Amino acid sequence: MLELIRPTASLKQSYLEALAEFHAERRFLYHRLDVLQRNFDAHVQAECALIHWENIALFRVPETIYWLADDDTFVGRFELRHRLDNLADDIGGHIGYSIRPGRRRQGYGAAILKLGLEKAAQRGLSRVLLTCDPDNTASRKIIEKNGGLFEKRIERMIDGVLYCKLRYWIEVPIAHPAGLANMGAERKTGHQPGI
């Protein structure tokens, strides 16, 4: 079963395998495999924190991290930023996602955004901004498949780095009351759902 769940130590094995795959393509290098291997619980706690240090330089907004799990296997990571502010507004948008390299081109990318939009609805976001690099064909397709409407292309120079992004908006269907009830359940199980 495919689910977006809060980070959990129970996926340690497949998460570390996925991280090795990400490292091979130079992503998430700030998470050292040996450190996480020794202290995975601390990493899970950090993933459950509302502000993530790796994003602080760009996005100083609270966000909730979810992991995409296919049964007991870690498949991807989803970030939901709770509001837009300055740079997040311009280049980051509300949402970020990545699928582990070994599971790409199997529809997980489209699925993670679909499930993530349900989380956005539960949080009360009625409209979300997504951005992607112009040459990221897969992400563009995923956004469009999930109802993304192209707004504009932007370019921003930040600390000497030129960011060029395509901006899309997705209208989020209002959360069903059952969704809100589930969020309450998330709170009761002790997972940190954010503010």
Ligand X SMILES: CC(C)(COP(=O)(O)OP(=O)(O)OC[C@H]1O[C@@H](n2cnc3c(N)ncnc32)[C@H](O)[C@@H]1OP(=O)(O)O)[C@@H](O)C(=O)NCCC(=O)NCCS
> Which residues contribute to the site for ligand X (CB under 6 A)?
96-99, 104-110, 132, 136-139, 141-142
Give the DSSP per-residue string, 34-78. HHHHH-HHHHHHHHHSSS-GGGTTT--S-EEEEEEEETTEEEEEE
Neighbours of 153 (CB within 10 A): 11
Q: For residues 93 and 116, what is the distance between their CA atoms, to the nearest angstrom?
A: 14
The answer to whether 168 and 130 are in contact (CB under 8 A) is: yes
Q: Which is nearer to ligand X, 92 or 194 (CB)?
A: 92
Q: For residues 153 and 133, what is the distance between their CA atoms, to the nearest angstrom?
A: 9
Contacts of 4 (CB under 8 A, 6+ apart): 66, 67, 68, 69, 78, 112, 115, 116, 118, 119
3-state secondary structure of 12: helix
Token duo for residue 133? 């690099």
Residue sitting closest to ligand X (CB): 109
The answer to whether 143 and 130 are in contact (CB under 8 A) is: yes
Q: How far is the CB of 108 from ligand X (least distance, A)?
A: 4
Q: Which is nearer to ligand X, 22 or 43 (CB)?
A: 22
Q: Which is nearer to ligand X, 81 or 175 (CB)?
A: 81
Q: Which is nearer to ligand X, 41 or 54 (CB)?
A: 54
Q: How far is the CB of 181 from ligand X (least distance, A)?
A: 29
Q: Which is nearer to ligand X, 144 or 186 (CB)?
A: 144
Q: How far is the CB of 71 from ligand X (least distance, A)?
A: 17
Q: Which is nearer to ligand X, 99 or 175 (CB)?
A: 99
Q: How far is the CB of 104 from ligand X (least distance, A)?
A: 3
Q: How far is the CB of 167 from ligand X (least distance, A)?
A: 11
